[in-house]
Chain A
Amino acid sequence: MATLTDPGGIAGTVKPRIVRQYNFAQTVPALALILLFFVLPVLALLLRSVLEPQPGFGNYAALLGSTTYLKIFLNTFVVSALVTAVSLAIGFPVAWALAIMPSRLSSVVFAILLLSMWTNLLTRTYAWMVLLQRTGVINKTLMGLGLIDQPLPLVNNLVGVTIGMTYIMLPFIILPLYGVIRRIDPAILQAAALCGATRFQALTRILIPLAAPGMVSGALMVFVMSLGYFVTPALLGGTANMMLAELIAQFVQSLVNWGMGGAAALILLVVTLTLYAVQLRLFGPARMGGH
């Protein structure tokens, strides 16, 4: 073989040397870091959920048997679903507009999207705390316009969390959806028009079905990210609508109950990884991130 393609046999002598340099050894530093400071601590935490205070599933029974905790699970799902629905409802028309508008207009919107995404999470949450407070601009404006007499309670409740989290999640749904709509062939919609479809029919029967994979994938991603969110719900939500991540932090920080903390962490982990597996199964690898 070597004599056919490479008469001098250069590759035969040099190639193995080159190939052999790349192997498992190079991934060892990264692997050691991940095993020691990621896999091991997470497994240890999950183990404590069945070992402390005594071996067994007592922590899980306590978590799933109490209405207080069930309310927190339910609230986590409700907030995440609400944020996902609102983000999708706003994100679809924006992604659609971005995909077709003149590039000098869309580049301005992209710059705003990126600036918002890159701005510190606490800065963005702080901005909403100030805007939504009783004496904040939004209440002042609404009262000034005579629409309301009393300041609306917009913070420390479901409204505050939904606004604050939608604000953070919007770019995560707009950007992938933009990519999906961009790849749709405009000729398909022209064909629909030629065949006599109205704009509304073309939207509901062609554009939305074609964009649906992007919508489902983006929605799943936003939902999964929302489930584990800690900072924004802790600052904009009230004690009445605590979310799962806060509960985990509270078990560990205030109550020093590692067993319960580990059990709640396992539940969050199982739900997150299951939904992520669904996403992978349906759409292949996608980028994810969260705080």
Chain B
Amino acid sequence: MLLNFERLGAWKWILLVITGLTAAFLILPIVFIAALSFGSSQWLIFPPPSWTLQWYKAFLADPRWLEAAWTSFRIAAVVTVLSVLIGLVASFGLVRGRFIGKEALRALFLTPMILPVVVLAVALYAFFLRIGLNGTTTGFVIAHLVVALPFSILSMTNALEGFDKSIEDAAVLCGAHPLEAKIRVTLPAISHGLFSAAVFSFLTSWDEVVLAIFMASPTLQTLPVKIWTTLRQDLTPVIAAASTLLVIVTIALMLLAALVRKGLKS
């Protein structure tokens, strides 16, 4: 009755209205910002008096915005590679290893996910001040790696647990070097885990704000830090343009992920 959509009666419409309103609540702000990024009003009046590309031009003409975007990309790319590599090796140890304290170790690796980011940000800031990593690319990469690694380990241990190890053993018994068996048999089989580890790691770094605010210096900042500092001054439509570009990157990554998932299934 309550779990049969067709037999809900009037309640069906109540549920549909609430769901529709919630979906609108979730999507409209994003649509609205995209619309305003093409509007001519400096004060973000809606509907805009006329349409323009001037905010995109302003974004692309300002070397500080472009540099911030490039910094974000560079850091996210390095974080992705390191997070997948370190995470992959650790996942093999965590899934197949036999040693005391394995479960405790797994829990420790996931703790950065539940710890409030602001605590880690402040702690790393103090530590980096001491060892001279503040405001450096290395500092950024380390900070983002700490929060990206748990996602990597989570998706790859899941994938490895679902892989039947006897297939790899068979390759070794047939004469393959253990490492070759791993690269040519196991890695392709867990590629979906590798892929989601990479996407999660990239997005974690690319979108991260709190650690970045503490790691940044006037000469080195990521796109979220640039948006943050600009936002604290005013709500300029250039941020709407930058935000819309970010949303486009997000949608592209979502579509890519969906396509890869489909491709891997078939």
Interface: A10 (CB within 8 A): yes
Interface: B78 (CB within 8 A): no
| Complex interface: stretch among B54-62, B63-71, B113-121, B188-196 | B113-121
Q: Is the CB of A29 within 8 A of B173?
A: no
Taking chain B's interface residues, is the majority helix, strand, or loop, or is none over half, making it mixed? helix
Q: Is the CB of A126 within 8 A of B93?
A: no
Residue-by-residue, is A32-43 near B (CB-CB < 8 Å gives 1, otherwise 0)? 011001111110
Q: Chain A's nearest CB lies how many Å from the CB of B215?
A: 12
**CA–CA, A55 to B203, complex, Å?**
42
Q: Is the CB of B116 within 8 A of A228?
A: yes
Chain A residues with Cβ below 8 Å from B51 are none
Indicate whether A23 sits within 8 Å of B93 (C-beta atoms), given known contacts A115-B251, A248-B118: yes
Q: Chain B's nearest CB lies how many Å from the CB of A209?
A: 12
Q: Which of A1-41 contact B (CB under 8 A)?
A: 10, 14-15, 17-19, 21-27, 29-31, 33-34, 37-41
Q: Chain A's nearest CB lies how many Å from the CB of B127?
A: 4
Q: Which of B86-124 contact A (CB under 8 A)?
A: 86-87, 89-90, 92-99, 105, 108-109, 111-124
Chain B residues with Cβ below 8 Å from A171 are 26
Chain B residues with Cβ below 8 Å from A269 are 115-116, 119
Q: Is the CB of A24 within 8 A of B97?
A: yes
Q: Is the CB of A130 within 8 A of B44?
A: yes
Q: Is the CB of B224 within 8 A of A34?
A: no
Interface: B15 (CB within 8 A): yes
Q: Is the CB of B178 within 8 A of A21?
A: yes
**CA–CA, A136 to B65, complex, Å?**
26
Query: A37 contacts which of B124, B126, B240, B251 (Cβ < 8 Å)?
Result: B124
Query: A18 contacts which of B94, B178, B235 (Cβ < 8 Å)?
Result: B178
Chain B residues with Cβ below 8 Å from A102 are 5
Q: Is the CB of A40 within 8 A of B172?
A: no
CB-based nearest A residue for B169: A18
Interface: A202 (CB within 8 A): yes
Query: A199 contacts which of B2, B90, B243 (Cβ < 8 Å)?
Result: B2
Q: Is the CB of A24 within 8 A of B46?
A: no
Q: Is the CB of B5 within 8 A of A227?
A: no
Chain B residues with Cβ below 8 Å from A22 are 92-93, 95-98
Query: Which has the most chain B C-beta neighbours within 10 Å: A25, A37, A40, A253?
Result: A37
Interface: A235 (CB within 8 A): yes
Chain B residues with Cβ below 8 Å from A122 are 209, 224, 227-228, 231, 243
Residue-by-residue, is A225-250 near B (CB-CB < 8 Å gives 1, otherwise 0)? 00110110001000000000100110
Interface: A268 (CB within 8 A): yes
How many A-B pairs have beta carbons closer than 8 Å: the answer is: 281
Q: Is the CB of B119 within 8 A of A33?
A: no
Interface: A212 (CB within 8 A): no
Q: Is the CB of A189 within 8 A of B26?
A: no
Chain B residues with Cβ below 8 Å from A276 are 114
Q: Is the CB of B235 within 8 A of A98?
A: no
Query: Which has the most chain A C-beta neighbours within 10 Å: B3, B16, B44, B231?
Result: B3
Chain A residues with Cβ below 8 Å from B36 are 130
Q: Which of B17-42 contact A (CB under 8 A)?
A: 18-19, 22-23, 25-27, 29-30, 32-33, 36
Query: A115 contacts which of B30, B86, B178, B246 (Cβ < 8 Å)?
Result: B30
Q: Is the CB of B2 within 8 A of A207?
A: yes
Q: Is the CB of A26 within 8 A of B122?
A: no
Query: A245 contacts which of B3, B118, B253 (Cβ < 8 Å)?
Result: B118
Chain B positions within 8 Å of A, measured between CB atoms, are: 1-5, 8-9, 11, 14-16, 18-19, 22-23, 25-27, 29-30, 32-33, 36, 43-46, 86-87, 89-90, 92-99, 105, 108-109, 111-127, 142-143, 145-146, 149, 153-154, 169, 172-173, 178, 203, 207-210, 214, 224, 227-228, 231-232, 235, 239-240, 243, 246-247, 250-251, 253-254
> 7 more A-B contacts (CB under 8 A) besides A94-B19, A102-B5, A130-B36?
A26-B90, A30-B109, A120-B247, A127-B243, A128-B29, A130-B44, A206-B2
